[in-house]
Amino acid sequence: MGKLWSACFYLIICLPLLSACDDSSEPKPDVLETISKSEYAVASAHPLATQAGIKILQEGGNAFDAAVAVTATLAVVEPYASGIGGGGFWLLHFADEDYDIMVDGREVAPFAATRDMYIDAQGNPTKNSVTGPLAAGIPGTPAAITHIAENYGRLPLSQSLAPAIELARDGFLLTEFYAKRAKVVVERLQQFPETMKIFMPNGEVPQAGFKLVQSDLAQVLEQIAADGFDGFYRGDVAQKLVSSVQQAGGIWQLEDLDDYQVIERKPIKGNYKNLEIVSATLPSSGGIVMMQVLNMLSQFDLPAMNEAQRKHVIVEAMRRAYYDRARYLGDKDFVNVQVDELLSMSHAEKHWADFSAQHATRSEDYLENVLDDKPKVNEQAQNTTHFSILDQDGNQVAATLSINYYFGSGFVAKGTGVLLNNEMDDFSIQPGHANLWGLVGSEANAIEPGKRMLSSMSPTFLSDGQRIAILGTPGGSRIISMVLLSALAFSEGASAEQMVNLPRYHHQFLPDEIQYESGALQADTIATLQSMGHVLNDLERSYGNMHVIVWDLKTKQVTAASDLRAIGTAQVETSQ
């Protein structure tokens, strides 16, 4: 299966990409014509969510209304990936003002959280950062969608939430994709009666074709539609959430919900050769790590390099940027992060001083001040979701949303249908202790009440002067490298389809290894990289679930693609 997959992958995806990437000689237009757009698009991780977004655009909503509809629908149909018990980052582009913001709806640590809350009496990490209500940060998604609808949408929240409410109330048919993910965490789900009642009503994970009805969740969504922020964070729903969490040993209080605040942030912006990049800022590490890698790579002519050389320099740049992630990054409302310094070319040059074109650098040599562990990535780990939207007026949304691991903490608050996240695990719960993604961290990402945990979610906009791309993907720590590889491919001419289906490889400083999808590296490239001292780890599976929209400003053509690795759909429509 793995071999067949990789052979097909190379024939279908890589060969056309190589020729497309070579075709970079066509001159870019000096001045772009004024654009009159007629096409619009939605690409998301689930066909029902894509349909919901298109429906809202067709009812007169803009990209921001559609983002609310897609977020809420994904929360209903992908309980393994995101939900209103979670959070995320919504990157918005306003076409009229040519202006971008990031809506930060990341979860926050409850007020009663403490730095060592997941360390037992013997000094060892417990499982409480992963399973049950203690693992849950205060959700941000309900606040983010009400914020977006109230400030930037055209339609009432009740209209944008209608598709999600209907799917929760009347049910939708489960897929094999759903069943596979639920089976991975069945033991966690079994620990919580309310979760069992909804997601395993017959005592086991339902088969594909089962109709999943979520009546309590429908009511909570209706409450949000009626009362906005207060519908979730205050009143009856808030009471139910807090009392259920506390009864099960959690530490949420009503004040945690009442105080939750969405924050609008200036995204990370940068340039790499012909590309302009707009991406997520802290508390996501995504934009910073990606720009650091691109800064280090800007000295190279990547298309002129052979495969092994190209991969070597990209991996060495990833290693150094992920080292900075572990050492310096955290919620900048709590810790001092020198973002400008990290993004400077002088910092890139300092990092590159010990680069060797012949040999892999050893991450161990960088360990000072960070950690002394040898983390292992959880091979099964998958999470999170992404969607991209372009509306008729050129407004754009790239949003990456999460409840962290499959089905989050596994805990549903009684009477709400709300599955709570286990995003607290994204904090550095003990120096040197690797989280679910194998990521390690330092004091900068230690737990503090009210603090946002460091994320890798990287919703991104790219522009090469002629084309615009709206993209992102789930995939934990590998999100950043996936978006990075697609950005490099886009800068070399790749289409939306080529970007989502690009073979993937990754290095995150620790563990000190190049992880790759089966078939993503050719045998001679593997041999050369090994001879340079790299450790190669064939994950023997695929990862990620990218969704990309590309808008060609010259031809006015919009194309969109969803990852072949999963079940999402991309839809482009033309205005009548």
CA distances (Å), origin 247, targets 233, 411, 428: 18, 12, 26
CB of 404 to ligand GLY, least distance (A): 4
Cβ closer to ligand GLY: 457 or 471?
457
Strands (DSSP E) contained in 163-260 are 172-173, 211-212
With beta carbons less than 8 A apart as the criterion, state whether 106 and 452 touch: yes
Tokens representing residue 521 in the block = 């590296």
Cβ closer to ligand GLY: 40 or 328?
328
Strands (DSSP E) contained in 197-333 are 211-212, 263-265, 268-272, 275-279
159 Cβ contact list (under 8 Å, min separation 6): 56, 59, 61, 65
Cβ closer to ligand GLY: 153 or 441?
441
CB of 527 to ligand GLY, least distance (A): 33
Tokens representing residue 491 in the block = 């800068």
CA-to-CA distance for 255 and 113, rounded, in angstroms? 13
99 Cβ contact list (under 8 Å, min separation 6): 93
3-state secondary structure 48-61: HHHHHHHHHHHCCC
Cβ closer to ligand GLY: 223 or 473?
473
221: left (phi over 0), alpha (psi -120 to 50) or beta: alpha
Residues of this chain that bind ligand GLY (CB under 6 A): 383-384, 402, 404, 423, 426, 455-457, 476
CB of 44 to ligand GLY, least distance (A): 18
With beta carbons less than 8 A apart as the criterion, state whether 42 and 54 touch: yes
Tokens representing residue 23 in the block = 């075709």
Quick one: which of 177, 165, 164, 166 has its CA closest to 80? 177
Cβ closer to ligand GLY: 361 or 455?
455
CB of 458 to ligand GLY, least distance (A): 9
Tokens representing residue 337 in the block = 């992060």
174 Cβ contact list (under 8 Å, min separation 6): 206, 207, 208, 209, 210, 211, 212
Count of CB atoms situated within 10 Å of the CB of 265: 18
Catalytic residue numbers read 384
Quick one: which of 572, 496, 575, 574 has its CA closest to 41? 572
Cβ closer to ligand GLY: 391 or 423?
423
Cβ closer to ligand GLY: 383 or 486?
383
Cβ closer to ligand GLY: 456 or 501?
456
Name the 3-class secondary structure at 89. strand
Tokens representing residue 49 in the block = 């969510």
CB of 474 to ligand GLY, least distance (A): 8
CB of 383 to ligand GLY, least distance (A): 6
Residue whose C-beta lies closest to ligand GLY:
455
CB of 80 to ligand GLY, least distance (A): 13
CA-to-CA distance for 246 and 108, rounded, in angstroms? 17
Count of CB atoms situated within 10 Å of the CB of 365: 9
CB of 571 to ligand GLY, least distance (A): 27
With beta carbons less than 8 A apart as the criterion, state whether 195 and 189 touch: yes
